[in-house]
């Protein structure tokens, strides 16, 4: 099965092509350019190098959130366009894809994306080195509450990943948190492809019409509008 995977949920842009679990081509950018500038040319180069056409793709995978509202929209909209006409799609949790980066580590995997306003987008997973087991749903959580929750796993090694890594590493005081190699902190489209493949095999696929972003909070502009309305009452 040929899989095209995209992750634009944070500042990192990642695109990957795989044949089942075999990586064929991948590019990850941390250049500071906007995803709207770099996504299409990045994919075109990868497709050229791999001698693939969009019509060759069997499964389109994308990180559907949580993450940057604009970033998630760009990725999902882009994949919806590529898959137009009812082609098979799978949207995956950004946090689960991040956790997959650390699949080979044994312990508790805690992705932490900077959600601003003193919170992280987070979920907890347990890895035995070969499989991931989800321990909770995706959520927005404060550093204080996350620290308390991680205390339940004081007998296990905890690894962090995500764009909130450095912030969380300073704020969380749990002694069982180990350093994670920097190359594994950020979004990786190969991980998106592997999580999508697992979901596809479980029968959890959709099409371009049903594919949609998943947000854990309202956009900032909407939150500010509601706050103004509350103050005006």
Same domain, 205 and 166: no
Q: Are residues 139 and 176 in the same domain?
A: yes
pLDDT in the model for residue 117: 85
Sequence-separated (6 or more) residues with CB below 8 Å from residue 46: 15, 16, 17, 25, 26, 27, 52
Joined together, the tokens standing for residue 180 give 């994670």
Q: Give the global pTM.
A: 0.93
Q: What angle do CA 73, 77, 82 make, to 5 degrees?
A: 155
Q: Which two tokens mark 42?
A: 């990045």
DSSP string covering 199-226:
HHHTT--EETTT-----SS--HHHHHHH
How many distinct structural domains can be found in the chain?
Answer: 2
Residues 88 and 118 in one domain: no
Q: What is the pLDDT of residue 191?
A: 98
d(C-alpha 213, C-alpha 72), whole Å: 6
What pLDDT, on a 0 to 100 scale, did the predictor assign at position 230? 60
- Over the chain (233 residues), what is each successive 10-residue block's mean pLDDT? 98 97 97 92 97 98 96 97 97 98 98 94 98 97 98 98 97 97 97 98 97 80 54 62
Domain-located, residue 142: yes
What pLDDT digit, counting tens, does each position of 151-193 carry? Answer: 999 999 999 999 999 999 999 999 999 999 999 999 999 999 9
| Mean pLDDT over the full length of the chain | 94
Instruction: Clarify whether residues 91 and 195 are in a common domain.
Output: yes
Q: What is the CATH number of the domain that holds 116?
A: 3.30.420.200
| C-beta atoms surrounding 232 within 10 Å | 6
Per-residue burial over 93-122, b = 16 or more CB atoms within 10 Å of its CB, e = otherwise: bbbbbbbbbbbebebbbbbbbbbeeebbbb
H helices of 15-86, where? 35-50, 69-82
For 163, the domain range is: 102-184
Measured in whole angstroms, how far is the alpha carbon of residue 125 from the centre of its chain?
Answer: 14
120, part of any domain: yes
| Residue 195 sits in the same domain as residue 142 | no
β-strand 2-7 against 13-19: which pairing, if any?
antiparallel
Got the DSSP string for 183-198?
A: GGTS--HHHHHHHHHH
Comparing CA positions, the residue from 73, 182, 92 lying closest to residue 134 is 92
- Do 16 and 189 meet the contact criterion of CB atoms below 8 Å apart? yes
What is the pLDDT at residue 226? 47
Is the residue at 7 inside a domain? yes
In this structure, the answer to whether residues 136 and 177 fall within a common structural domain is yes
**Residues 6 and 90 placed together within one structural domain of the fold:** yes
User: What is the three-class DSSP state of 43?
Assistant: helix
What is the structure's pLDDT at 229?
56
């Amino acid at each position: 099965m040929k899989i095209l995977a995209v992750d634009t949920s944070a500042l990192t842009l990642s695109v990957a092509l795989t044949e089942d679990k075999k990586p064929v081509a991948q590019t990850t950018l941390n250049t500071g350019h906007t995803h709207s500038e770099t996504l299409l040319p990045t994919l075109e180069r990868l497709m050229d190098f791999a001698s693939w056409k969009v019509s060759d793709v069997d499964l389109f995978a994308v990180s559907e959130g949580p993450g940057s509202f604009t970033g998630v929209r760009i990725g999902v909209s882009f994949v919806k366009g590529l898959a137009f006409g009812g082609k098979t799609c799978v949207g995956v949790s950004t946090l689960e894809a991040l956790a997959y980066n650390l699949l080979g580590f044994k312990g508790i995997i805690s992705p932490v994306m900077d959600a601003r306003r003193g919170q992280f987008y987070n979920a907890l997973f347990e890895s035995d080195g070969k499989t991931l087991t989800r321990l909770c749903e995706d959520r927005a959580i404060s550093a204080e509450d996350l620290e308390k929750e991680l205390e339940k796993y004081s007998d296990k090694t905890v690894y962090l990943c995500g764009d909130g890594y450095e912030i969380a590493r300073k704020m969380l005081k749990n002694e069982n948190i180990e350093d994670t190699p920097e190359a594994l902190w950020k979004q990786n489209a190969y991980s998106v492809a592997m999580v999508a493949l697992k979901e596809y095999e479980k029968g959890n696929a959709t099409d371009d019409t049903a594919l949609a972003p998943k947000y854990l909070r309202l956009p900032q502009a909407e939150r500010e509008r509601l706050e103004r309305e509350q103050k005006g009452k």
